[in-house]
Chain A
Amino acid sequence: MKQTYRIEVDCANCALKMEDAAKKVEGVLDATVSFMTQKMKVEFAQDADAGKVMETVRKACKKVESDCEVYID
């Protein structure tokens, strides 16, 4: 399952860091962050609960880039 989320990030390098962080979260098969469109696309593992996984992704992103925001709705 793939899902796109709106994000807020200030610099391209930070977007790369977020992408790396999101990829490492359990339940995430793949993640791409587009700095240009300010969007994050996440591919979830089959039995993953997207809501819960995204909470972890958000925390992981905050950790590497305190200024960023991931909107989960």
Chain B
Amino acid sequence: MTKKQKKVLFRIILSAVLMAALYFVPVTGYARFGLYLIPYLIIGGDILKKAVAGIVHGEVFDENFLMAVATAGAMLLGLYHESRGVEGEFSEGVAVMLFYQIGELFQAVAVGKSRKNIAALMDIRPDYANLEGEDGQLVRVDPEDVEPGSLIVVRPGERIPIDGVVVQGVSTLDTSALTGESVPGQAGEGQEVVSGCVNLTGVLKIRTTKEFGESTVSRILDLVENSSMKKARTENFITKFARYYTPAVCFGALALAVCPPVAGLILGRTSDWTVWVIRALTFLVISCPCALVISIPLSFFGGIGGASSRGILVKGSNYLEALAKTKYVVFDKTGTLTKGVFQVTDVHPSEGFQNGLGEQEAKRLLLEYAACAESYSTHPISRSLLEAWGREIGPERVTDAEEISGHGVCALVDRVKVAAGNEKLMKKIGLECPEVPENGTVVHVAVDGGYAGYILISDVIKEQSGEAVRRLKAAGVAKTVMLTGDSSRVAEHVAQTLGIDQVKSGLLPGDKVEAVEELLAEKGAGETLVFVGDGINDAPVLSRADIGVAMGALGSDAAIEAADVVLMDDNPEKLVLAVRISKKCMRIVYENIVFALAVKALCLVLGAVGLANMWAAVFADVGVMMLAVLNAVRCLRVKSLG
């Protein structure tokens, strides 16, 4: 509890004790009013002051005003009774104020506590860095003061403060703070390491490559902190609702106080106007929208916090809300559903190419040509060719290399014209190529203007992909789609294995945006289309989809930037978890809205007809708020997929 909260607690206890004591004090008349005024002012003084200040500043109709009018009204009514010689009721006003304060205190403490819990969950901020000076001495400094290119030392048990490259040492790293998975990673000389990981076993010397502010850990913290600034539609609805609801109830109360007695007068019946005033005051007590205003943002905050503890970063409550309505999931194939690790599985030199070489030699030569031609490309397929070739390729051997997006590569290898790529490339250079019956990516190779054969490369499907697709379906996803630049045969094979509904294959990077736009036009209003990619080359698609999810984004700035939801590791099942978290969160949000409004409506009706008095009203108000807050805190707890 903060100092302020302790003070309030003291005031609550003091006025409660005073009130209890007054119950036994045998004083009557105006003196009783005077005595009850003491606990009333102790507990409600600040509220009265705020209410007056609010009116002065033109901020009428806030909760302070409501409570002030309701309780002051009750006290004055007691005084009126007293003046008529009837014993007045003063305890009610004091009690309402007392309960209101208890409720406020509870809310402040509960919210403050869960705020801290969530913050602690997301606290991966390193406190210091061990900077190595020129004389080899270690100095403990603030990570903010470390320049890029400095040498820092991270001992076992310490958190890596800044992104960098290991220059000395071998160790295992605990990445769970970032990914939510406790699978340790390895780090050795020359390897890049990201901040936020905990060094487990050995001492690492790291040359920093970024400033602290640009490092992974800072970016993630920034993102999570900003996430609650992007408000969900439900949140905005509540804000607007509160803006109209409170004045509406106030006018309702006024009407309740004035209309029935006036109507009674007109009809010639004398009615006790104090009855209606009390009912109107009861109205005011019920009218505070606190339960909603506090519990809805708390639910979203809890949901985002819970998700981030599992390595799922949601950039705003609005995305969490949209995620719960996921109906279409569009996957990029490579790197998302498959590992994106390509391996050469077969080499097929054409008969013409084998002429006079023998099969083994022809295979070797075909692979060499292909690997050389692709040696400048960073495409995963090129890498796998280079890996399969496995020898150094001197840069002087390859000239005039040209990469044709979505087709392949043309280059001069040892002054011989080589083209390596898909069917489209072969057609483009005017060559016929055979149909290849196998599943995998086929790289056709043309040497010196003649067809030379093909190389088969297969990508490996991730173990969790099938389960992820199945679980998404179970979670209410209507359609799963896979986009890929690969040929339809490979794509169909993967889709069938995983149970994907629709495949769009042979797409150039630009076509993916169009494909997503087609799907967007197809889906109904209020349904969400999610695109999942690995964040490489798909930034336009990520931003075009309702929700762009970047996967395996650990350390990839571009992906973190473009996506709305970031999965820190590359497990597609995390998407299922994200959808589940969002659904749970939205369920809790709606539970709170319905529950709070239903109880308030009931109390308003009961209060209007005189069945609920002010005691019931304040219990309803404070009780609903407490329950709503407790319910909201549930958002924080995330069940594992099981």
Q: Which residues of A contact B (CB under 8 A)?
A: 4, 10-13, 16-17, 32, 34-39, 41, 63-64, 66-67
Contact = CB atoms under 8 A, between A and B. Distances in A.
Contact of A39 (B108, B225, B301): B225
A53 to B, nearest CB: 19
Nearest to A40: B229
Given A64-B59, A66-B53, A11 B228 contact: no
Closest 8 CB pairs of A and B: A36-B301, A34-B228, A32-B229, A12-B294, A36-B228, A13-B293, A12-B293, A37-B225
Contacts of A4: 225-226
A17 B242 CA distance: 11
A11 B294 contact: yes
Interface in B293-320: 293-294, 297-298, 301
Contacts of B229: 32, 34, 39, 41
Contact of A13 (B53, B115, B119, B242): B242
B624 to A, nearest CB: 15
14 contacts: A10-B108, A11-B108, A12-B298, A16-B293, A34-B228, A34-B229, A35-B297, A36-B118, A36-B228, A36-B298, A37-B119, A41-B226, A66-B50, A66-B53
Contact of A16 (B104, B107, B226, B239): B239
B62 A17 contact: yes
B630 to A, nearest CB: 16
B293 A10 contact: no
A10 B4 contact: yes
Nearest to B118: A36
Interface residues of B, number: 29
Nearest to B225: A37
A12 B112 CA distance: 11
A28 B228 CA distance: 20
Contacts, number: 54
A63 to B, nearest CB: 5
Interface of B: 4, 50, 53-54, 57, 59, 62-63, 104, 107-108, 111, 115, 118-119, 225-226, 228-229, 231, 239, 242, 289-290, 293-294, 297-298, 301
A58 B294 CA distance: 23
Given A12-B111, A36-B228, A39-B229, 14 more contacts: A4-B225, A10-B4, A11-B294, A12-B294, A13-B289, A13-B294, A17-B62, A32-B231, A37-B225, A41-B226, A64-B54, A66-B50, A66-B53, A67-B4
Contacts of B63: 13
Contacts of A39: 225, 229
A3 B200 CA distance: 37
Contacts of A36: 115, 118, 228, 297-298, 301
A41 B228 CA distance: 11
Contacts of B108: 10-11
Contacts of A10: 4, 108
B314 to A, nearest CB: 14
A41 B297 CA distance: 17
Given A13-B63, A34-B228, A39-B225, A63 B297 contact: no
Contacts of B239: 16
Contacts of A35: 297
Contacts of B289: 13
Contacts of B115: 36, 38
Nearest to A35: B297
Q: Could you say which of A34, A36, A38 has the most chain B C-beta atoms within 10 Å of its C-beta?
A: A36
Nearest to A39: B225
A25 to B, nearest CB: 14
Contacts of A63: 57
A17 B229 CA distance: 15
Nearest to B104: A11
A4 B226 CA distance: 9
Nearest to A65: B50
A8 B108 CA distance: 12
Contacts of B62: 13, 17
Nearest to A32: B229
A38 B63 CA distance: 21
A35 B239 CA distance: 13
Q: Could you say which of A37, A38, A41, A63 has the most chain B C-beta atoms within 10 Å of its C-beta?
A: A37
